[in-house]
């Protein structure tokens, strides 16, 4: 078959990608299709041949039979077909990891079989799954892998390669595929356009592991001023400067406190911002006239690639209107800032989901100015006791995130330890829950984690707030998180989102 006539395909994992991963699935009544699966598959099949490829280790372990697997696949195929969705093949590997077969992911045996039977153009094809083996399955064939945080995705996140895009759910991955059919080529073009814009004094919205940022050349005062104008951000609120390599620290700070390199070695790249004595080269507008500068190295590889290609540290707050809910996807950026940036780099979803921890090293003792993706406990285990900034600084904040009102939806939000009876039967009240509640609620519910996992909840918080905010409710009630680990940051964001503030007319 001629190469030009081959078809683009999407190869999908089953458990944790299309359906809830409930363990070794034997019974039809235990199937739980994710709410967005059907719509995602309908979108994808317009341009792609669909295949399901799964490792069924339970067969080799004796926990389920191949007949069980076929029965579940057959039932799913019937349900999908009833919605007009055609899956070409349901491929299942029944072997264990030690058996050395060619069909077990990450080996590409089933992808090669699909090519032989249907003719697949691997250069235009994708794999979607919630395990690092899924995204690696077609890498050597040129297939682009997308990683999901559903299923066991968050559990295996630390095992994921550094150059993989992450998404919260299959619908987000499907949208990205449809908008970026050339995958790596599309990303490279976006990065080159972004770097060119920054060099020319423009604004670029780009992904990090925490939230999307709106960046400009940190040494170009007029470009930085455009950030404040686009966001309607007050000039007294300083920015964080993002770097790609450790050597760039010396461009921003002329003296590094003693504990700096310990923290850099442990937590960078990652969600920790260090406030350091400022170099005279850094424009005052970046630091809001403070004698210190906030610096971090993001973990998202696209952010670091952008900074390297730009040839300069990039000053960037979150890519949203000032005071509003932070963006954790490119769609969120478009919602509020469409037309106000020069380039938007769509790098999937932000897996940490809340902003970085800000740690000041300018005083006698390190001090946390804003809780975030690195916990106080993690910092203290490395450098000893740290102080925590108390109260809000509306007049002269030392870092981003210190204003009393921030991260807010349009809908009024309140933060409570427990949900009062008066709200239970009101359909115009929405809920943000950190874990399941043993009550029936009349209004829409955003459950951030079925198990109460704080990291999972952090990754979903801002997207959940945005969904409820679009529903025209009279009130959003958020239940507080355990005041530990990243739960401290989650409570901080929700308390500021709940703070009363003046709205622009």
Average pLDDT, 10 consecutive residues per value, the chain (505 residues)? 76 98 95 97 98 96 96 98 98 93 96 97 98 96 97 93 93 97 96 98 98 98 98 94 96 93 97 97 96 97 98 97 93 96 98 96 94 96 93 66 78 93 92 92 94 94 95 96 95 88 38
pLDDT of residue 431: 96
Query: Alpha helix locations (H) across 24-180?
Result: 37-44, 57-61, 66-82, 109-118, 132-136, 170-179
pLDDT confidence of residue 2:
45
Q: Which residue, among 183, 181, 221, has the nearest Cα to 201 in the 3D structure?
A: 221
Neighbour-count burial of 277, counting CB atoms closer than 10 A to its CB (0-12 exposed, 13-18 middle, 19+ buried): middle
pLDDT of residue 148: 98
DSSP category for residue 22: -
**b/e sequence 405-430, b meaning 16+ C-beta within 10 Å:** bbbbbebebebeeebeeebbeeeebb
Q: Do domains 3-181 and 413-498 have the same CATH topology?
A: yes
- Could you please state the CATH topology (level 3) that the domain comprising 186-388 is classified under: DHBP synthase (3.90.870)
Question: What pLDDT sits at residue 45?
Answer: 97
> Using an 8 Å Cβ cutoff, are 46 and 7 in contact?
no
pLDDT of residue 392: 59
Q: Are strands 165-167 and 272-277 parallel, antiparallel or unpaired?
A: unpaired
Under 8 Å between Cβ of 49 and 88: yes
Write down the residue that tokens 């792609």 correspond to: 48
| pLDDT on residue 395 | 59
Structure tokens given for 21: 């991963």
Q: Which residue has the tokens 């579940």?
A: 72
Domain positions in the chain: 3-181, 186-388, 413-498
Sheet of strand 429-433, all strands in order from the earlier edge strand to the far edge = 413-416, 475-479, 429-433, 445-447
Is this structure's pTM higher than 0.85?
yes
CATH of 413-498, one of 3.40.50.11030, 3.40.50.150, 3.40.50.970, 3.60.21.10: 3.40.50.11030
**Topology (CATH level 3) of domain 3-181:** Rossmann fold (3.40.50)
């Amino acid at each position: 078959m001629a190469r030009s006539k081959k078809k683009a395909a999407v190869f999908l994992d089953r458990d944790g990608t299309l359906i809830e991963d409930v363990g070794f699935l034997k019974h039809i009544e235990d199937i739980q299709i994710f709410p967005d699966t059907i719509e995602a598959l309908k979108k994808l099949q317009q341009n792609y041949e669909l295949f399901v490829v799964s490792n069924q280790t339970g067969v080799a372990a004796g926990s389920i039979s191949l007949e069980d697997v076929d029965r579940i696949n057959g039932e799913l195929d019937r349900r999908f077909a009833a919605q007009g969705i055609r899956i070409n093949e349901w491929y299942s590997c029944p072997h264990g990891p030690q058996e050395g077969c060619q069909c077990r992911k990450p080996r590409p045996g089933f992808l090669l079989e699909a090519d032989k039977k249907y003719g697949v153009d691997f250069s235009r094809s994708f794999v979607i799954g919630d395990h690092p083996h899924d995204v690696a399955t077609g890498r050597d064939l040129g297939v682009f892998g997308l990683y999901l945080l559903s299923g066991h995705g968050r559990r295996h996140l630390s095992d994921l390669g550094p150059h993989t895009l992450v998404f919260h759910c299959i619908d987000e991955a499907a949208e990205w595929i449809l908008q970026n059919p050339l995958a790596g080529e599309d990303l490279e073009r976006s990065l080159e356009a972004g770097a060119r814009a920054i060099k020319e004094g423009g604004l670029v919205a780009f992904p990090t592991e925490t939230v999307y940022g709106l960046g400009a050349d940190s040494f170009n005062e007029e470009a930085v001023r455009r950030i404040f104008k686009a966001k309607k951000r007050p000039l007294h609120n300083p920015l964080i400067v993002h770097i790609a390599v450790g050597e760039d620290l010396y461009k921003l700070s002329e003296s590094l406190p003693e504990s700096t390199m310990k923290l850099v070695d442990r937590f960078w790249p990652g969600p920790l911002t260090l406030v350091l004595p400022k170099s005279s080269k850094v424009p005052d507008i970046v630091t809001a006239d403070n004698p210190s500068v906030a610096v971090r190295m993001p973990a998202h590889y696209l952010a670091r690639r952008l900074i390297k290609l730009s040839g300069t540290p990039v000053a960037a707050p979150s890519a949203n209107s000032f005071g509003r809910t932070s963006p954790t996807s490119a769609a969120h950026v478009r919602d509020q800032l469409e037309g106000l940036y020069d380039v938007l780099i769509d790098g999937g979803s932000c897996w940490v989901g809340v902003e970085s921890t800000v740690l000041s090293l300018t005083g006698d003792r390190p001090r946390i100015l804003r809780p975030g993706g690195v916990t106080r406990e993690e910092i203290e285990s490395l450098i000893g006791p740290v102080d925590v900034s108390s109260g809000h600084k509306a007049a002269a904040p030392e870092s981003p995130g210190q204003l009393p009102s921030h991260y807010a939806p349009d809908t009024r939000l309140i933060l409570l330890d427990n949900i009062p009876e008066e709200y239970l039967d009101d359909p115009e009240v929405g809920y943000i829950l950190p874990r399941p509640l043993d009550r029936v609620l009349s209004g829409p519910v955003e459950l951030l984690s079925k198990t109460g996992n704080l990291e999972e909840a952090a990754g979903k918080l801002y997207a959940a707030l945005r969904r409820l905010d679009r529903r025209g409710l009279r009130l959003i009630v958020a239940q507080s998180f355990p005041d530990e680990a990243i739960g401290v940051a989650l409570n901080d964001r929700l308390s500021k989102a709940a703070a009363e503030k003046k709205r622009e007319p």
